Chain A
Amino acid sequence: MSLETTMNSDTILKVEHLSMKFGGLMAINDFSFEAKRGEITALIGPNGAGKTTVFNCITGFYKPTMGMIVLNQKSGKQYLLERLPDFEITKHAKVARTFQNIRLFSGLTVLENLLVAQHNKLMVASGFTVLGLLGFPTYRKAAKEAIELAKHWLEKADLIDRADDPAGDLSYGAQRRLEIARAMCTGPELLCLDEPAAGLNPRESAALNTLLRSIRADTGTSLLLIEHDMSVVMEISDHVVVLEYGQKISDGTPDQVKNDPKVIAAYLGVEDDEVEDVISEVESLEGGVN
């Protein structure tokens, strides 16, 4: 691929002119942003703004109608994510994700959840099952290492005591932490978190902040997160992108975004004298669609 690297090496993800259409609905309209390596980038916006759609485009669950998503790995390898099937985005491009409605393997134990996440590594070690089935030692060694890695993340996520319980038996907050630990077991360079603090109490979201910070500090993983909880967003993110009606309305540091009048208008509504502007804008949009 002849990507003229206008992006410098400390950009990990570059989304350019991303558009996603569902029938007549323009869920995302010409959306561009960049995420820097080793930073925590937050994607915020009112409900229905298209944040999760952006995530699904980045992680391959949707194929965007238009636009380009470039992932720039530490080794210098570049991937065009919109062209990869979803599982290869995790496998090769090293992008892991969590889900807004938690998707754990509830009938598997906590430890097994983390072992499933190391599938590709273990698959190679077991000689694509053949060598492992015959009892070769390479697989036994790899399995032991996989359990060690799982243990490491269980300790980080404070779940080590629940390792042998079914994942469906954990409390909501613990399930959120387990999902993050599971995504980290795939060894990602970019971790995408879809509303990690949803449904957490203040103490749990403080613990989440600590976990996310330590992930960034210890592994150098870059984070991209969607979040409604401003105590999480403003405290830990280095860079905030605001999305409304599928379009970017603001982009900058948390402080810049907090004071951006467009953002305030999007979140709090607008003054009376601005209503007419908004109506005319909406009408012109509808005209565009028709």
Chain B
Amino acid sequence: MTNTTSRHEGAAGDLTARALREALYAGLISLGLFVLFVGLKSDQNIRNELILVPRWGLLAIFVVIAMVGRFLMIAYLQPFLASQKVVNAATGMLPDSMASRFFRLPFFIAAVVVSAVMIAVARGLPDNIAAYATIIRGLAIIYSLACLFYMFRIFITTHFTVLAVAALVLYPIVIVAIFGAQGSLKWVDNFGIQILIYVMLAWGLNIVVGLAGLLDLGYVAFYAVGAYSYALLSSTFGLSFWVLLPMAGILAAFWGMILGFPVLRLRGDYLAIVTLAFGEIIRLVLLNWAEVTNGAAGISGVAKASIFGIWSFDVSAPNNFAKAFGLPMSSAYYKIFLFYLILALALLTAFVTVRLRRMPIGRAWEALREDEIACRSLGINTVTTKLTAFAIGAMFGGFAGSFFAARQGFVSPESFVFLESAVILAIVVLGGMGSLVGIAVAAAVMVGGTEILRELEFLKHIFGPDFTPELYRMLLFGIAMVVVMVWKPRGFVGSREPTAFLHERKAVSGSFTKEGHG
């Protein structure tokens, strides 16, 4: 006991000594820095000669401020921050709870009242007090603005989902209002639809990788199955998009099962290799089975989707959307329709994922990711659990694929290379495995970021006219991944939302969840 107290005193003594030492260093450094800036001033005297005016007093003030500041920082501020960390750990609050202690509603009201009072009485104050009153008023206003900003941030984070969906629904309307129908094409198609396709694919893959913990490097195969089943069935049998959309999903799910069976016993790296091979097999079959798939030339003229068969987007069709409403002809309507279609499909994926997580099958997936042997000891059939994960993940890939075919009007094996699988997997990992919001943000950053690179014309003025920023997109993609993995190794959203709770819903820290054995 005496030992620990003496160590405590020793620690306190050490701290003071260290603070004094650091203060001395700071004083020396500031002396060195300021001696020529502040300590000596060049001036002209009455005879127009250049003289040096020593200002030792001012220099001393500068040095003393630096020393005192350094001393207070070492002796008081740093231990205080460290103790706050301990308090944070003890209360289980997140590190930003410092801010929640600093910005409180009563303080905010008090600050507003103070600034209002200061403004009201500013006139009647004598001059010498008025200066101080101005400072206090300024501080109060700054504090209340900071409070407002903080509360706004809290509001955004707590209502993120609703706000994000509302923003996405309004997005095409705002874009059309700003850029006009024709100018909106780029923004709706390249940014909106392109990002949402990747969001949907990543959410689909998230079921397999994020929830069930089965590393799938060949996810793009199911995207290809969906795209080709729509392209082939619509051009051969003339079936409509709305019939083929579920069919593409079912076919992709079927292929998911086919992949699932042989890999049931595989784990980790071995599973990754076999799924990678599966993705390549599908692509090579599409490339070489030319009688059916038309080989590398691909299938062109794939039918467009219609609004439930009521309005069509074919220019020649009598029920053309623009004609029916007497609008000028433009391809923008089709793009805007596609935007809402992929938004609806992506939200369906999210809804099903959220629902499934609360069902026994979703919990079994997550349990499978945590410990497969324990799952078996609890009577969970791991075979069917894995197969359903593969099938449902593949189904959403198939939906996205048939959408892709309807959007492009053209499919070829070139769209389904391994790089696509890698990008989708990278989005899932960057976003934080299992987190829908994190994945959506990651998709927006990764896909939107590479699209924005095309827009950066001003870089040509810096690096010369030969510079094409698109060529560097993979480099930047890689740098971004490294940076994110260094700072947030569990992805943007590393924590996990529990699916059920008794007293309060607490996020599970990423340090407890496992990535799965493969």
Contact = CB atoms under 8 A, between A and B. Distances in A.
Contacts of A139: 359
- Tell me the dominant secondary structure on chain A's binding face: helix
A163 interface: yes
A135 to B, nearest CB: 8
A109 B504 CA distance: 11
Nearest to A160: B502
B370 interface: yes
Interface in B427-474: none
B267 interface: no
A30 to B, nearest CB: 27
A133 B352 contact: yes
B350 to A, nearest CB: 14
A116 to B, nearest CB: 4
Interface string A117-136: 11110110010010011000
Interface in B355-401: 355-356, 358-361, 363-364, 366-367, 369-371, 373-382, 388
B500 interface: yes
B377 A90 contact: yes
B359 A119 contact: no
- Determine the interface band of chain B, counting residues with CB < 8 A from chain A: 35 or more
Given A106-B514, A163-B501, A164-B502, A87 B376 contact: yes
B360 A119 contact: yes
A119 B503 contact: no
A87 B382 contact: yes
A240 interface: no
Interface residues of A, number: 48
Nearest to A168: B512
A97 B373 CA distance: 11
A88 interface: yes
Contacts of A89: 379
A164 B497 CA distance: 11
A151 interface: yes
Interface string A51-91: 00000000101000000000000000000000000111111
B95 interface: no
A91 B379 contact: yes
A120 B499 CA distance: 18
Nearest to B378: A117
A173 B374 CA distance: 18
Given A105-B371, A129-B361, A112 B499 contact: yes
A151 B500 CA distance: 12
B509 interface: yes
A166 B512 contact: yes
Contacts of A96: 377-378
A181 B501 CA distance: 17
B498 interface: yes
Most buried by A among B355, B364, B500, B514: B500
Most buried by B among A96, A132, A139, A160: A132
Contact of A111 (B361, B369, B500): B500
A90 B377 CA distance: 7
A119 B512 contact: no
Nearest to B370: A105
B294 interface: no
Contacts of A174: none
A198 interface: no
Interface of A: 59, 61, 86-91, 96-97, 99, 103-109, 111-112, 115-120, 122-123, 126, 129, 132-133, 139, 143, 147, 151, 154, 160, 163-169, 182-183, 186
Given A90-B378, A108-B363, A139-B359, 9 more contacts: A87-B379, A87-B380, A87-B381, A105-B371, A108-B508, A109-B500, A119-B378, A123-B361, A168-B512
What 8 A-B pairs have minimum CB-CB distances, sorted nearest first? Answer: A107-B513, A90-B379, A91-B379, A105-B370, A168-B512, A122-B360, A103-B374, A163-B502
19 contacts: A61-B373, A61-B376, A103-B373, A106-B513, A107-B514, A108-B363, A109-B500, A115-B500, A116-B360, A116-B380, A120-B379, A129-B356, A132-B359, A147-B500, A163-B503, A164-B501, A166-B513, A182-B378, A186-B379
